[in-house]
Amino acid sequence: MTIKEVSEKFNISQDTLRYYEKIGLIKDVKRKNGIRQYEEKELARIEFIVCMRSAGLSIDSLIKYMNLLDRGDGTELERKQLLINERDRLMKRMEEINGAIDKLNYKIDFYEKILLKEPNKNSDMR
């Protein structure tokens, strides 16, 4: 698969794919006449990376995880711990977002009500 195809498949720019390689998040991509040929292994990793990035994991954490994968046997416990940390961070993130959604719903409701019974000039937080 070429860089263009990968970029379209995962909806990330070619620049981003090259950037990920430059910083060592994606490694050992084969070339044919200097042109990148992504294979199964890379595709699986890229899918994971894209998903985790969309959730907000840092590139740094992902590099660490990929390095453990490359070191192979004996790093399983460390990998598991890293993933647990990231999952816990995401769960905390979810709570923050939930809290904000609650607040937003309350305010949206407030506007819904005053917009119904215009011309009540009451207003939130002023």
**Site residues for DNA per CB under 7 A:** 2-5, 13-16, 18-19, 22, 31, 33-36, 53, 58-60
Distances (CA, A) of 45 to 57, 70, 88, 103: 14, 12, 21, 37
Between CA 84 and CA 47 the distance in angstroms is 19
Rounded Cα distance between 116 and 112, Å, is 6
Q: Is 23 or 104 the residue whose CB approaches a copy of itself more closely? A: 104
Q: Least distance from C-beta 115 to DNA, angstroms?
A: 28
Q: Of 4 and 102, which CB lies nearer to a copy of itself in the complex structure?
A: 102
Stretches 3-11, 12-20, 28-36, 83-91: which one binds a copy of itself (CB under 8 A)?
Answer: 83-91
Dihedral (Cα; 45, 47, 53, 54), 10-degree rounding: -170
Dig out the tokens for 84 from the structure.
Answer: 């647990």
Residue 116 binding: pick among DNA, a copy of itself, none (C-beta 5-8 Å cut-off by kind): none
Closer by beta carbon to a copy of itself, 3 or else 66: 66
